Structure 1
Amino acid sequence: MPHTSRLLCTAFLACLSFSALGETLRIVTEPWSPYVTVDGQQVSGLDYEMTNIVFKRLGIDVQWQFVPWKRCLMMLEQGDADGVLDIFEVAEREDLLLYPTEPLSEVNWVLFQSNDRPHPFNTLEALRGLTIGVSPGYLYSPEFDTSKLFIREPAPSHAANFGKLIRGRIDLLVTDRIVGQQTINQLGLRDKVSQLPLVVNRRPMYLALRRNAGMDLLVHRFGAELKRFKQEPAYAQLMARYTGETLPTPSVSSADQSVTGVEKTVEQHESSAL
């Protein structure tokens, strides 16, 4: 059998394992609006809907489970999940996960402050001695994650972090810009909390699958179909619905946009009221 024919046959059999054979792909993720939103029995969100659209086009059934992020990672390691939504590509997970070439979205990690207790931020040195609210298991940037200049204090949810911020239990918190803006609106904190303008880091988010037989071909097909979908008007409509923003424009490399040390500042990114 020619090499190309063997590849096509293998890809077809890989898809059969999840469709014709009646099996489903088990995907885990943590709710964080607007990328993944869980409201009772209703699930929506930008990345959630994109992923469902792509898998539907590939003929793959998906079973979703929404749990805290550290549990998502544990389920992947223990083989209780086939994949995870909205994860970063890092070297520590190369032996466990496969990533498509096309990301779903891009995270913009920024800091939020209480208007009653402002803390200007231009470099990591400006955070010296402060307590920063974080989310368990999240990766922000190597410099931020390992810095000994400040204390990182986890909270069980984004809403809990904002509650600690306005009560003065933490000095600042870090989260995605869009997630933070929507959380502020949901909690009615628009007059009490504000976003600092500098971006700590920018990172693409992916749908990643465990390294099992046939998964490499499925990841390739997912990435190719996702890239096609992003060229369609439906993608722009999803972006506008969930973020209130137009399609992102190309930017310089994340290394030039991130805080990589106490001497390196980052590009300003104006917040938008969502």
Structure 2
Amino acid sequence: MDGSAGSSRTPTRIGRRQFVLTAAMWPALSVPAIARGTDPAWRMVAMDYFPPYNYVSGGRFMGIDVDIMAEAARDMGVRIEFVPLPWRRSLMAFQSGEVDGMFQLAPTAQRFRDWQMVGPMRSTRVVLATLAGSGVQDFTGIGDLRGRVIGTVNGFTYTPEFNTAPHFTREGSVDDETSLRKLLLGRVELIVGGQPNILHAADKLGMRDAIRILPTPLDVQPRYTGFLREPARLEKAALLQDSLARMQMDGRIDAILHRNLAQ
């Protein structure tokens, strides 16, 4: 997952209060209730603020990826209990085995080595954005960013080349909205992020016309759900992989994306 840094403190185990809260969100979701059986619910953790893909608003956990996972739950006939947490806490909860799985994860070699990566559930166009009046029109490669100050989000992974390039300055923020505010204030020259995330933040601030997305994307990346390689969780991973494949084939994922992103 591309996620914000969140708290740097090591969290205690997730308590029942957190699960009761997330379970109570189900009746308020903008999608129909998923199958309710006698089997224990899958507990799936995700970043609590990553709009428009997943975020808590008005006591509801909602967004594109929440809709995709809820549709997969209906397809599989299982129950899913969402656990929204700040990025680092969600990662710790996943790695400690306190939840069954974690979404949405950007692909890295280490993640594919360490975890069972299921998907992709969708793809993201990772872009650079600047002010509408900026002289920066486009870029052809990482070398074109030399000497720039670029707004990033703490804890996010972009591309290996971008992550390690030494010839520009990264200005970290807690989320895309804060990164965009720095661009509007002139503290950075460019910001990097998923195009829908940047546009969502710009719309929230009423500043869509003040920014411009560079034509060439930094990358187009798939997003995955991760499971620890333990027998019971590998079974869940296999079920979800089959479900996402069906949803890709019959157009349900495209329909969710279109419903949420068509402007």
TM interval, shorter chain, is 0.7 to 0.9
Contact 2:61 2:84 in 1 (8 A): no
Shift in Å at residue 48 of structure 1? 1.1
Residue 47 of structure 1 is aligned with which of 34, 50, 65? 65
For 1:114-138, what per-residue CA distance to the aligned partner results, in whole angstroms no more than 9, with x for missing partners?
A: 1244434232222111111111221
Aligned to 2:163: 145
Aligned to 2:217, the other structure's residue is in SS state strand
- Partners of 1:176 and 1:85 in 2: how far apart? 16
Report how many residues are paired. 227
Aligned to 1:110: 127
Sequence identity percentage:
23
Q: 1:23 to 1:198 in 2, by over 3 A?
A: closer
Residue 226 of structure 2 is aligned with which of 194, 204, 208? 208
- Partners of 1:215 and 1:155 in 2: how far apart? 34
Contact 1:112 1:196 in 2 (8 A): yes
Residue 80 of structure 2 aligns to which amino acid in structure 1? V
What is the TM-score with the length of structure 1 in the denominator?
0.75
- Partners of 2:167 and 2:182 in 1: how far apart? 20
Q: Does 1:136 align with 2:136?
A: no
Shift in Å at residue 85 of structure 1? 0.9
Q: 1:84 to 1:22 in 2, by over 3 A?
A: closer
| Equivalent residue runs for 1:162-201 within 5 Å | 162-201=180-219
Of the structure 1 ranges 52-61 and 168-177, higher mean CA displacement relative to structure 2 is found in 52-61
Aligned to 1:74, the other structure's residue is in SS state helix
Structure 2 residues without counterparts, runs of 5 or longer:
1-35
Aligned to 1:74: 92
Q: 1:63 to 1:96 in 2, by over 3 A?
A: farther
Residue 211 of structure 1 aligns to which amino acid in structure 2? R
Task: Report which of the two structures shows the higher radius of gyration computed on alpha carbons.
Answer: 1
What is the TM-score with the length of structure 2 in the denominator?
0.78
Residue 122 of structure 1 is aligned with which of 129, 132, 140? 140
Structure 1 residues without counterparts, runs of 5 or longer:
1-17, 245-273
Contact 1:108 1:202 in 2 (8 A): yes
- Once superposed, what is the RMSD of the aligned Cα atoms? 2.2
Q: 1:118 to 1:63 in 2, by over 3 A?
A: farther
Contact 1:25 1:60 in 2 (8 A): no
